[in-house]
Amino acid sequence: MTDKYAQLVNQGLGRNVAKKLGLPQPAVLRRYEPGGPLITGPVLVQGGTVGADSLAAELLSWDLDVRRHAVPREKLGAILLVLDDVAQPEDLGKPVLSAAASLRDLAPGGRVITVSRPASDATSPAAAAARQGVDGLLRSLAKELRAGATGNGILLAPDVQATSPGALAAVRFFLSGRSAFVDGQFIRVSTAAGAAPPELEKPLKGRIAVVTGAARGIGAAIARTLHRDGATLVLVDIPAAGDQLAAVANEVRGTALQLDISRDDAGQRILEHAVQRHGRLDIMVHNAGITRDKLLANMDEARWNSVIDINIGAQLRINEALLGSEYFRASPRIVSVASTSGIAGNRGQTNYAASKSGVMGMVRATAPLLATHGGSINAVAPGFIETEMTARVPLVLREMGRRLNSLQQGGQPTDVAETIAFFASDSASGINGEVLRVCGQNLMGA
């Protein structure tokens, strides 16, 4: 779906009119292009810790132009603020204000990334206060950035350093155009596992992936992105979408499996299909879902049960089959599509919000089970994404959904797909049990 307003205000006369009237002026976002640079412009690494020094040295090895001290009026591609050893709130002032002096020099589409540690792991109230303070300052800063720039944070578990593979993978993701619509969010790196080599053209080469709900919209975008990154695909959707499913499968050179995932044997059917054709399964992407919206006072049993069963019940049953199979053992990855509705709620969507919030709970509880096999499970929570479904939203509500985020626009299906591809990669193996919002930092709710 095309955002005609955004196109208008990014052209000569429309740009001038919008500026004079104080209307939103959503920037053209910097998205990932294979073969393109990771970031354009120097990267400023701020912070006086050993972690900051080692991270700067690592970024130099990526052939990036790294600065340890700002050069006045030099346009910056990114600012990394390393706060990995703050012990009390007073420790925040010097590094944060030093970085603040360079914010006006951040180029369009630039990145601000904080590297810190979770408050929940702190051993003193003062350290917990300082660490939690990073959360508030980063989310507020992300709302101040302009011209398509984003701010995100990385949280390091106690045994993870700023240059651990998993941390470097998160840095690379946030620097890149893959994270264009991720803003004001944090990723916790729970273990030092992972890999962060220079950007690989085919990071999923040799991996076998299943994507449900793949016939259209976000599911089709996920299929195309995983194929671009080298994965071999099995695409699943209901028989009624058979023609569209076959078309997408042909496009990505995968196979199509017409299947209602609400069937009790859906997990076994998916496994059998993958094993018969490829000998195993490595990546499971739970994208399929439905909406049956009604105010709770008007909700009937059929609407409630169908949404719960397909959006979360089917995932639980499929995961149970996968976790019990010897063919899902080679660093297995599961990525689920949740929703910001499951975080902040949405009027008329009690059933949908319950199901998507349930996905998040499932992901957190399943993480230890995947870790025993060197695997991971994570969720992506999209906000307003430009799809056929959002095109049917009434005009006023649609425009509100687009503009009420820090980037003042709707995301694209590819934005969700890029985050899923990241979680599916070996680079992200140190990230487990996380929920990452792809919402442009929606201004309403959590």
Residues annotated catalytic, as ranges: 352
Rounded-to-integer distance, Cα 115 and Cα 103, Å: 17
Long-range contacts of 361-365 (CB under 8 A, 24+ apart): 362/312, 362/315, 362/316, 362/319, 362/336, 363/334, 363/336, 363/338, 363/433, 363/434, 363/435, 364/433, 364/435
86's tokens: 């703050």
* Run of H or E residues at 302: helix 301-308
Contact of 411 with 12, CB cutoff 8 Å: no
DSSP 199: P
Tokens for 389?
Answer: 């479904």
Identity of the amino acid at 368: P
Residue with tokens 């080298």: 230
Q: Are 442 and 384 in contact (CB under 8 A)?
A: yes
DSSP string covering 92-151: GHHHHHHHHTTGGGEEEEEEEEEEE--GGG-SSHHHHHHHHHHHHHHHHHHHH--TT-EE
